[in-house]
Amino acid sequence: MDVAELKTEIYDLKDRRKEVALNADPVSPHELQPLSDADSWALFSNKILALSYSDLPFYLKPCFLYLGLFPEDSSISARKLSKIWVAEGFVIQHGDELAEDIADEYLEELADRCMVRVSKRKPTGIQRCRIHNLLRDLSISKAKEVKFLHIRTGINSTSAALPLTSARRLAFHPIADHIIPGPPYQHVHSAFYFCPLKRHDLDRIFQYTIVYGMFGVLDLRYLGDLDVESYPILPDAVGKLIHLRYLYSSEEIHVIHR
């Protein structure tokens, strides 16, 4: 190759490099894009909150995960929460101290660690509490990792991704598409209904509950348009639920005696 041919190839190479440079995207496809302030804060918060959860003692972790069952912005009764934790077997008793008193201490410790917000307090202790939305998201996320709970909110809900055959605790939120715990729910230990229930709903709930011996915790806080004075809610067969340790209703409970 003579000198003239070599110069021609060099000029061609320069032209090609210039053309590539002019047509290239100024941003490399492998270059990380800066996060927005909101995304940066969310990432930072999630990391910090995850560390706060990891730092919880073993006996507080299930108590914190339980808070994810409640709908967003719920005002949670400390008294009912303590009873539920006891019924679930989360409370470790020491000596003669009452289990519910220990559960109250657990809630106080969660509040001291800023994992729950106290919304009402009396001299006797916490009366009502709330969980921040970010902490609630963390609770649900961690609970799903260990198959601790499942929340039914609707057909298109992301919570539907969790197989119903895995979680032992089930919550039906106001727009739940399916609220009857039939055979697919035989594994469920605890059920919470945050959606209105009608007469036929209760009939089927207790039919399956009795047949399959389900539930150690059953929360019926929204009884919809039931006329509880003329309609007895619970059949006496509910006594066959040998595992039932906690039952809550927002209305007076009547029992059928046959």
Q: What is the pLDDT of residue 243?
A: 57
pTM given for the model: 0.66
Question: Which residue type occupies 87?
Answer: A
Q: Which residue has the tokens 């309609």?
A: 231
Whether 187 has a pLDDT exceeding 90, the answer reads no
- CA torsion 79-80-81-82 (nearest 10°) is 50
Task: Give residue-wise pLDDT tens across range 136-180.
Answer: 999 999 998 888 888 877 644 444 444 455 777 877 776 545 555
- Going by pLDDT thresholds of 50, 70 and 90, the confidence category of residue 224 is very low
- For range 7-11, the mean pLDDT: 49
User: What is the token pair recorded at 6?
Assistant: 């070599």
CA–CA separation, 204 and 192 (whole Å): 15
CA–CA separation, 173 and 177 (whole Å): 9
Q: What is the pLDDT of residue 56?
A: 96
Q: Which residue has the tokens 């969660």?
A: 110
| 191 conformational bin, left if phi > 0, alpha if psi -120 to 50, beta if neither | beta
Task: Give residue-wise pLDDT tens across range 50-97.
Answer: 899 999 999 999 999 999 988 889 899 999 899 889 888 899 988 889
* Share above pLDDT 90 across residues of the chain, in percent, rounded to a whole number: 27
Q: What is the pLDDT of residue 18?
A: 56
Note every long-range contact of 233-241, with CB atoms under 8 Å and residues 24 or more positions apart, other chains counting: 233/202, 234/206, 235/206, 235/210, 237/206, 237/210, 238/206, 238/209, 238/210, 240/210, 240/213, 241/209, 241/210, 241/213, 241/214, 241/215
Whether 7 has a pLDDT exceeding 50, the answer reads no
What CATH number has the domain spanning 53-139? 1.10.10.10
- CA torsion 93-66-190-185 (nearest 10°) is -140
Q: What is the mean pLDDT of the chain?
A: 71
Whether 193 has a pLDDT exceeding 70, the answer reads yes
Neighbours of 70 (CB within 10 A): 21
Angle (CA) 82-115-169 rounded to 5° is 50
Phi, psi of 247 (to 5 degrees): -135, 125
Q: Which of 98, 101, 113, 18 minimizes the C-alpha distance to 61? A: 113
Whether 251 has a pLDDT exceeding 70, the answer reads no
- For range 175-201, the mean pLDDT: 61
Count Cβ atoms within 10 A of the Cβ of residue 51 and give its class: 0-12 exposed, 13-18 middle, 19 or more buried.
exposed
- Going by pLDDT thresholds of 50, 70 and 90, the confidence category of residue 104 is very high
Task: Give residue-wise pLDDT tens across range 55-68.
Answer: 999 999 999 999 99
190-193 vs 234-235, strand pairing mode: unpaired
Q: State the DSSP code for 24.
A: S
Neighbours of 111 (CB within 10 A): 16
Q: What is the pLDDT of residue 248?
A: 54
User: What is the token pair recorded at 202?
Assistant: 């209760």
